[in-house]
Structure 1
Amino acid sequence: MSNDKYSTPLSSRYASEEMSKIFSLRNRFSTWRKLWLNLAIAEQKVGLSMITDEAIEQMKQHLDITDEEIAAASVEEAKVRHDVMAHVHVFGETCPAAAGIIHLGATSCYVTDNADLIFLRDAYDVLIPKLVNVIDRLSKFALQYKDLPVLGWTHFQPAQLTTVGKRATLWIQELLWDLRNMVRARNDLGLRGVKGTTGTQASFLSLFHGDHDKVEELDQTVVNLLGFEHVYPVTGQTYSRKIDIDVLSPLASLGATTHKFATDIRLLANLKEIEEPFEKSQIGSSAMAYKRNPMRSERVCSLSRHLGGLLNDAIQTASVQWFERTLDDSAIRRISLPSAFLTADILLSTMINITSGLVVYPKVIERRINAELPFMATENIIMAMVEKGGSRQDCHEEIRVLSHQASDVVKQEGGDNDLIERVKKTEYFKPIWAELDSLLDPSTFVGRAPQQTEKFVNKDVAEALAPFKSMITSENVSLSV
């Protein structure tokens, strides 16, 4: 890689080798060769005698394109101004017995579009196991902390208690929906097949002398050879760019999920309740040595925004494809499709890293609960007094006055919440003084959070992950800086 040329940090800095390889030039051009080979095999099988065994054998021997061939194709493209024809020329020179039949009857989109669909399927096969492992790690975290009370937040204002584990189920549920959407999008992918220049298969009909059955057999044979279950029944010159919307939508939705998760972690880090992993020698700030910045979660938020925006590329492109095709889809798809999958790959790798080492600080959580719980316990106090024969209205007024006094201490004086001490000193509440500790037990304020968490993980999550058990590992992911 030249240090004098810009390279995208998606591939040079962040993304995994396996995802970067899918969208590499070598994989693209080698896939074109596989498509040409399978077209030739199918054409021979369906009855074209001009396709010789020698031609097919030579093509099989040279599927993996070399650096020298890539360079030669680049030189040829500069002359003919056509990338596919440049590679047809170079492949033909490498396989002289096949030179006359490579790309027979096909249009450029036979290799470019079918290759793209293969890449999209293969890219999803990289993402799905990573998402499964994020869900698995978070599920273990949820069970571990299903009983730990924590202050809930609505509007980022103190609300009723929940548990650390129950909060994690909110993240997991959205990830499960992302898994469903991604699997659906992956399995819905078909191939463009062999459709000719405007999708009419006219060139192939001519090759088979008007035999429609042989053309249909050719189409299905190519699809079967390439390992796909179905072919799109009709196309223009390209497969419909609406497919790209279906492919990118689950990734954009994943970006929303990861952004919400990472934002919650960033807020919790500020509250000092939960932190992402922090390495022993990691530096949080060049100036402030004490800082533990949530840089992983910040990276997730940053790239999640980028991922969400890429969906608009697909929507706008699909909407302006005139008739059988225009070429204004080409340049943008070269950018947005790889970028979406590389970005999603980085997000999920980072999420695996974060969820493998979340750090919880129960004492900080307890202190924050104790600062707010007295106010939340006022209804419990009122009900306990009523059971002792008190008037609800009288008790409400007593506790209202004490609550305002305690609130002033917190807000005006910066002191601790002393509502319970005031209750203990107020003669009116003497009948329940002995019960105050039990009335303030945080575990009695979390409702069914522990039970909900356990049922959700052991039933809903377990059922969703059952088909992917073989993908679950205990390996962590090391991140680049």
Structure 2
Amino acid sequence: MSDLVCPLDFRYGRKEMKAIFSEEHKLQRLLDVEAALARAHAKVGNIPAAAALEISEKATTELVKVERVKEIEAQIRHDVMAVVKAFAEQCPKHGGYVHFGATSYDIVDTANALNFRDAMEVMRKALAELRSALVALADRHKSTLCIGRTHGQHAVPMTFGLKMAVYAMEVDRHIERLDECKKRVCVGKMSGAVGTAAALGKHAMEIQELVMNDLGIGYAEASTQIVQRDRYAEFVCILANIATSMEKFATEIRNLQRTEINEAAEWFDVAKQV
């Protein structure tokens, strides 16, 4: 069975990022949230401790299979309830407590927050590595003269080190933005179908806090059925900003390595030459 989200997944992307957004990992994160919810219910006395223990022990894709979830979804036409039913099958004693008091997007959006957090960690590491490489190039070529260009035309001399320093500082700002948005983007919710958390009972707000603390993320202090999408939009804008810089850097190197310019070169080993 393919885990591809996009037809181009096989060609582009980091292994770590592909793993985060694979079908199996997505399912695992949904199970993680369901297990955290059960533990929170047990702490406030809503369900037996034994139920939380069984649910937590069975919250793994080694037991709850993607294939089984898809079989159930084909019958009932509801993705999250298919997960709940497949999960409950693995909890013969306490399966009725799986998903207790929750709405679908309590689970989905909280799992999204976990995936976004993991993805941000991968991106931050990659950006930090790029920044270090650019800083090293800036230092190495601080006295290496090259022509400066405006509108693609020769202007006045500059150093290649300055060009790399500008790029390094641009990457540094991307890291700052990524770090700063994390508190707004990586948040979950456990507040029910319309945000009132009525189905979770009198300990609802405590349950929400317990779940998110258990998972290591923040929570939306006010929400509806979903975590509000301005949070996701902010993340997408930051990703677009990062992608714009990467395209700019790549295009610059591509142009500078043209035969008639030959100021820079992209590294390839012999085996990768066309």
Measured against the shorter chain, the TM-score band is over 0.9
Structure 2 equivalent of residue 276 of structure 1: 266
Match of 2:131 among 128, 135, 142: 135
What is the RMSD of the two structures over their aligned residues, measured on CA atoms? Answer: 1.9
Match of 1:233 among 205, 209, 221: 221
**How far did 1:138 drift?**
1.0
**CA 1:69–1:158 in 2, change beyond 3 Å: closer, same or farther?**
closer
Q: Does 1:82 align with 2:82?
A: no
Q: Does 1:220 align with 2:216?
A: no
Count matched residues: 272
Q: Report 1:88-107 matches (<5 A).
A: 88-107=84-103
Q: Does 1:117 align with 2:113?
A: yes
**How far did 1:6 drift?**
8.6
Match of 2:189 among 189, 193, 197: 193
**Residue type at the aligned position of 2:134:** L
**How far did 1:11 drift?**
2.4
Structure 2 equivalent of residue 393 of structure 1: none
> Take 2:136 and 2:186, find their aligned partners in 1: how far apart are those partners?
36
Residues 188-231 of structure 1 show CA distances to partners (whole Å, capped at 9, x for unaligned) of: 33423211101111212xx33xxxxx222111111111112x31
Query: More relative contact order in 1 or in 2 (CA 8 Å, sep 6+)?
Result: 1
Structure 1 equivalent of residue 147 of structure 2: 151
Instruction: Please state which structure has a larger fraction of its residues in helix.
Output: 1
**How far did 1:249 drift?**
1.2
SS in 2 for 1:153: strand
**How far did 1:52 drift?**
2.0
SS in 2 for 1:159: strand
> Take 2:271 and 2:69, find their aligned partners in 1: how far apart are those partners?
47
> Take 1:31 and 1:175, find their aligned partners in 2: how far apart are those partners?
30
> Take 2:5 and 2:31, find their aligned partners in 1: how far apart are those partners?
27
**How far did 1:92 drift?**
0.9
> Take 1:159 and 1:111, find their aligned partners in 2: how far apart are those partners?
57
Q: Does 1:251 align with 2:245?
A: no
> Take 2:156 and 2:249, find their aligned partners in 1: how far apart are those partners?
20
Question: What is the aligned-residue identity percentage?
Answer: 29
SS in 1 for 2:60: coil
The two structures have a TM-score, normalised by structure 1, of: 0.54
Q: Does 1:14 align with 2:17?
A: no
SS in 2 for 1:277: coil
1:54–1:97 contact (8 Å) kept in structure 2: no
The two structures have a TM-score, normalised by structure 2, of: 0.93
Structure 2 equivalent of residue 160 of structure 1: 156
1:190–1:232 contact (8 Å) kept in structure 2: no
Structure 2 equivalent of residue 26 of structure 1: 24
**How far did 1:282 drift?**
3.2
**Residue type at the aligned position of 1:278:** F
SS in 1 for 2:9: helix
2:189–2:226 contact (8 Å) kept in structure 1: no
Q: Report 1:318-357 matches (<5 A).
A: none
2:63–2:90 contact (8 Å) kept in structure 1: no
Structure 2 equivalent of residue 260 of structure 1: 248
> Take 1:102 and 1:170, find their aligned partners in 2: how far apart are those partners?
52
Q: Does 1:73 align with 2:63?
A: no
> Take 1:262 and 1:190, find their aligned partners in 2: how far apart are those partners?
30
1:77–1:83 contact (8 Å) kept in structure 2: yes
Unaligned runs of 5+ in 2: none
2:184–2:231 contact (8 Å) kept in structure 1: no
2:111–2:188 contact (8 Å) kept in structure 1: no
**How far did 1:42 drift?**
0.8
Q: Report 1:397-408 matches (<5 A).
A: none
Unaligned runs of 5+ in 1: 209-213, 285-481
**How far did 1:131 drift?**
0.4
2:31–2:59 contact (8 Å) kept in structure 1: yes
> Take 1:274 and 1:141, find their aligned partners in 2: how far apart are those partners?
12
> Take 2:168 and 2:4, find their aligned partners in 1: how far apart are those partners?
37
